Amino acid sequence: MKHILIGTILSGLTMGWGGCATKDAPTELASVMSDIYIAPADYTAHRAQQKLFEVEGGNIAFTDHGTGPVIVLIHGVPTSSWMYRKVVPQLQNNMRVITVDQLGYGSSEKPSREDVDYSPAAQARRIEALLTSRGVSEYSILMHDMGGLTAWEMLSHKPEAIENLVVLNTITGKTGFEHPNMEAGFITKQLMKAYTSSLTSAAILDRTFGDLGLKGQYKLTEEECYGYVRPMREGADDALFSFFTNVNDDLFADLAAKQTAWPDYKGRVMVMWGAKDEILTSRQVQTLQAAFNIPDDNIHIYENNAHFLAEEIPQEIVAKVTAFMAQN
């Protein structure tokens, strides 16, 4: 991934921004939570439907819509709850859907890494505090990418509270993860700043999404890409730096330790995986299937898709998740 980021910066500076918009415009969070999440035409409309909740480290933004069994959607890096804008409007017809911008991302506050803990364990505690405040004691989790690290922490904290797990191209362990090798030095700091710079953020995200599969028929529009660009420009470099510099042997050792408890999990697990993902490869699914003893009917591999299934095949996610949740 490091070579992708470096190449992205250079190509962005020399070739222009590609599909991502570079505009900036003020947006506000909702003062009143609506019962219905309305499919947003742009990022401003999405942010206007979010509210803030105060946690350790700052405020996190969330949406909470629909009624019925609760499902919590957890995003990865460098994304936010914006990624789920295409699935929430229909999922809320059959369940209560909560999306969260983890601290440092999306509309949530972005404090300095010297002042706050950006570890998956800390992110998990924040989401758990939010759920408690919303009167939620039992819930399912849909996770993607780095969001899996937060979800695995939540599973280790209180497995009896989690009824189901839906796994989309998520970090499960070292096997099959072509992970970045980034040291906490000058170059990595500059790469993270480039992600959040008004001069280079659009180019980098456009190229990164393309390298991870969002191209051709799945390429983001300018408005869609702007929904990812704007939060990055608001100071996400410290959260990004913390994540990338902690993808190391200690992280994988901690994941391996957590996996020893996964066979004891009493809930159900469904996997949806884009096989063309070159970073989180489908070999990760082997770890999941072995640990959770997932039946073949609950493993869905999409040979023509890559990393961002919520962007590529949102209707398929809605259909599979709705049917899966209805089996409870």
Domain residue limits, the chain: 39-179+250-326
Closest to 317 in 3D by CA, of 127, 46, 73, 38: 73
Distance of alpha carbon 131 from alpha carbon 298, whole angstroms: 27
Distance of alpha carbon 153 from alpha carbon 126, whole angstroms: 11
Q: What is the DSSP string of 143-204?
A: EEETHHHHHHHHHHH-GGGEEEEEEEEE---STTB------SSHHHHHHHHHHH-TTTHHHH
CA 144 from chain centre, in angstroms, equals 5
According to DSSP, the residues that pair with 72 across neighbouring strands are: 98, 141
* Side-chain half-sphere CA neighbours of 263 within 13 A: 6
Residue 53, sorted as left (phi over 0), alpha (psi -120 to 50) or beta, turns out to be beta
pLDDT of 192 reads 66
pLDDT of 54 reads 97
Phi first, then psi: what are they for 156, rounded to 5°? Answer: -75, -30
Distance of alpha carbon 254 from alpha carbon 87, whole angstroms: 32
Q: What is the DSSP string of 254-283?
A: HHHHHHTTGGG--SEEEEEEETT-SSB-TH
Tens digit of each residue's pLDDT, the chain (328 residues): 444 443 433 333 333 334 565 555 556 676 666 789 999 999 999 999 999 999 999 999 999 999 999 999 999 999 999 999 999 999 999 999 999 999 999 999 999 999 999 999 999 999 999 999 999 999 999 999 999 999 999 999 999 999 999 999 999 999 999 876 655 565 566 666 666 776 677 888 888 888 888 999 999 999 999 999 999 999 999 999 899 889 889 999 999 999 999 999 999 999 999 999 999 999 999 999 999 999 999 999 999 999 999 999 999 999 999 999 999 7
- Sign for the pseudo-dihedral over CA of 115, 240, 237, 102: negative
Torsion on CA atoms 302, 307, 312, 318, rounded to nearest 10: 70
pLDDT of 211 reads 86
Question: Residue 185: which residues within 8 A CB-CB, separation 6 or more?
Answer: none
Joined tokens for residue 232: 């990055």
pLDDT of 19 reads 57
Report helix, strand or coil for 60.
strand
pLDDT of 15 reads 32
Report helix, strand or coil for 11.
helix
Greatest alpha-carbon pair distance for the chain in Å reads: 53
pLDDT of 142 reads 99
| Residue 144, amino acid | H
| Residue 113, amino acid | R
Q: Is the full-model pTM beyond 0.85?
A: yes
Distance of alpha carbon 174 from alpha carbon 255, whole angstroms: 9
Query: Alpha carbon of 159 to those of 4, 138, 165, 267, 298: distances in Å?
Result: 37, 10, 11, 8, 20
Question: Residue 89: which residues within 8 A CB-CB, separation 6 or more?
Answer: 37, 38, 39
pLDDT of 200 reads 76
- Which residue matches tokens 């209180």? 158
CATH 3.40.50.1820 corresponds to the domain 39-179+250-326? yes
Distance of alpha carbon 91 from alpha carbon 94, whole angstroms: 6
